[in-house]
Structures are given as structure tokens and as C-alpha cells.
Structure 1
Amino acid sequence: MRFRDRKDAGRLLGRRLEFLRRQDVVVLGLPRGGVPVAAEAARALGAPLDVIVVRKVGVPFQRELAMAAVGEGGVVVVNDRVVGLAGVDQEDLEQGERREQAEVESRVRYLRGDRRRIPLTGRTVVLVDDGIATGSTARAACAVARALGAARIVLAAPVCAREAARQLADDADELVCLQVPRDFGAVGQFYVDFRATEDDEVIELLERAARSQAGAAE
């Protein structure tokens, strides 16, 4: 099955997530492509929408190997096993953390503007992306959401590679994927329209969701 676009995928994913409708839920989209999907899921659940911006801190000599993940508010989750095996010293680790933390805070300010981060403490957090290929970003997002106080993490995507789904079982409390195909080349192959999501669209979706939540609270 191919989704028409991210909005179509989000509507279908929202239906699958209906079992969360009466719970204290926050939906977090991974920018940029995950946010249009998350917006539809949040609408289906009547839940607030926000972004979760994470950055992986790579080993100095092998950047694709993550030794830590950082999120906003100074959250740092270190993989002590990777740090130890790679022989990374504290100075290199902290330098990488500072570099990626600055990137996180810059992106958060740009995308969210002057709105405050929606609190996650004690709540069910639904992390949404437009697809999961390797799972490395999703894994980092789960770790950061947990560090920010999430009581339960539901990782949701329209499509997920089979190996990634298996590996992510220990990172999220529940994994919800509409498709876990045997043959997975790239996320884009499961969409008719997979054009890039721009920052302006992400900002507009977040602002619209915030207005909707404010109106519902009145």
C-alpha cells in the first residue's frame, strides 16, 4: 500500500491510535517530515501537538555511530557502552554534547517560536515520524522523551523497516506501524507524494494546533 502523502498517512495512523483517545496524551512530531503526520494523529486524538528535536552525538572518528543523544532543556542521554568501547574521553564527549545541544536549541527556537514546550511528565507520549528506516533517530527521541518525564512512550509511524521494528522494541513501550514490509528500500517508496516538508509548513502546523488547543480550553 502506498500513502497519497503525509497527511493521508497521518489520518490512517490516527485511526490506529484511537485506543489512546481518552488518555492524557501528547503527540510529538519529529521534524520535519514527521510533523504533518503527527498533526493528523493529534487531531484524531484531540491531543496537543509539539515537536521533539533531538540530535545524535557521534563518535569523533565515526560520526554515524551515536555515543549520546541530546534534546532541549539540556537533556543528555549517554550510551556508556559505546563511549567505553570507542575509548572516547570526557572532553570529546562534552564537546560533542555542547555542539549538538546548540543545534537543538536553535532549531527549537526557530520552529516553536515563543511558545513553551508542552510538559511530558507523567503523560503518554506518542512519537511520530513519516517512516522509520534504521531507527536511530527514533531511538534517540525515545531516550530524550523518557528523560523529559514521559510515563509511557508509543512510537508510531506509517511504515517501519522490519529490522528497525525489532530493534526498537526495547526503546518504546509500544510500537504502532501501519506497515512493516519485508522489502524496504526507503521511506519514500511508500508514498505517492513524498516532497520535502519545509520549515514554514512545520511552523504553520504547530501554530494551528496551538490555536485549536487554546480554543478547546476556553
Structure 2
Amino acid sequence: MTADAEGSKGISQNEEKELLRVYNTMCNYQPKSKLYARLQPQRARRDRLVAHRKAPDNIVVTNKEGEAMSSEEIEAEYETLRQEIAALEKEVAVLDSDPQRRIRPADLAECLKTLGKPNSKKEIEEMIWEVDESLDGVVDWEEFKLTYQRNLADTTGLEPCQLFNVIQFMIYDKDGSGKVTVDETMHMLYTRYGRDRLEGQMKLLFGEDLSTQDGDGELSFSEYCVAIQRTNKGRHSHGTSS
């Protein structure tokens, strides 16, 4: 059986769609993060200029010196921003459409840093090595799907799951906020476990009252990694008793 066939086995159409979304996000994550860091303040500035256009009497736009800008200056800056933002967005699109895109160590490292759980270079390399069937030092789409499928099917707790935990968290975190909520998680767990096991799986992740340990009803990636240990124990116990 090929990696592609084995990786797709047991994955619903919706799961594969979400899996592809996460894969595309993680591919070229490091260079895209640098571009987004430049885009964020420019988009914020553009949005303020747009807001001024709509309500010029309520929103004052100032230059770097703190001086109020004229309408001509605002329009000139808006046009410059529009062009710069378009150029940066084009660079992101090129990275996203690269047919040779893969998840490199630098991409995984930056992704984990963004999630608030940075790892050492050695730890990153080990995470990739665990799933790197082709031994080329990166993770391609087939390897990405394969580790996902293997972990879903695992009832022993022996399958390497470090990358899988990152993937699963990012699948749940649809809005990219760095937190997963009850609502975000429930649909995917229902798809995977069905109605009968949904409540049990939700309680393993979020606690008995579904409010999480700190009471905010959300899980950061670090909190998720702790909670997933409970989930795995429950899943493996179920698998060995069936």
C-alpha cells in the first residue's frame, strides 16, 4: 500500500479538507510569517485611513510627527499602502502555490514558536524524523496525511505523536487564534467519534464542565498537550478493551 492510500484510509472528506488547510498553512510557514509581520501594521494603517474616509470628522489621521494630515496626503499614503500590501500578498500567494512546498524544520520551529511552545533544533529535527518516510529532512503531503491516519488508528500509544498533536490542534483552531474552543473542537470530534463518544472525548479535553482547568473555556497549545495525554489514555483504554 502506498503512503497516499494508507494516509487517506479512514479519513473523512471534511477531515482531509481541514488537514490540507493545516498543511498549506505550515508549508513555508517561516517566510510567510515574516511577510505577515510586515503586512499586519500596513493593513492596520490602511484600515484607519479607510475609516477616516467614512467618518472624517470622527477619526483624525496623523503622520509620523503626530501632525494631522491633509486629504491629499491621506490619499497619497493610501495608494502607496495599497500597492505595498498587494505586493506582499502576492509574495504570500507565490509561497502558498509553490508545487514543491514542504514543511521544513524552520517552518515547524516558527509554527511552534507562534503557538507559544518553542522547541530546540534537536527536538524539531526529531519530530520531522519520526514521520519522514523519504528521509529528505522535510515533511511532504503524503507523509503529513500518513502520520495523521496512523495516529487516529493507534490504540497502543506507541505511534510517534508529536507532529500529530500540532496538526490536530491547528485543525481545531480554525480561526488561527492560537486557542481552541469547545465550539471549534466539537464538530471535528463528532465526525471522528460519533454522538456516543463525543461527550466523553470533550470532557477529556476540556474537563467535566467543559470550561477547561483555568475556567476560560479555551485551550492554548501547551494546555492542549497536557489535555491530550488524558484523551490518549481514554482512547487507548477503549481500543484495548474492545
TM-score calculated relative to the size of structure 1: 0.28
Instruction: Looking at secondary structure, tell me which structure has more strand per residue.
Output: 1
Larger radius of gyration: 2
More contact order relative to length (CA 8 Å, sep ≥ 6): 1
TM-score, normalization by structure 2: 0.26
Larger helix proportion, structure 1 or 2?
Answer: 2
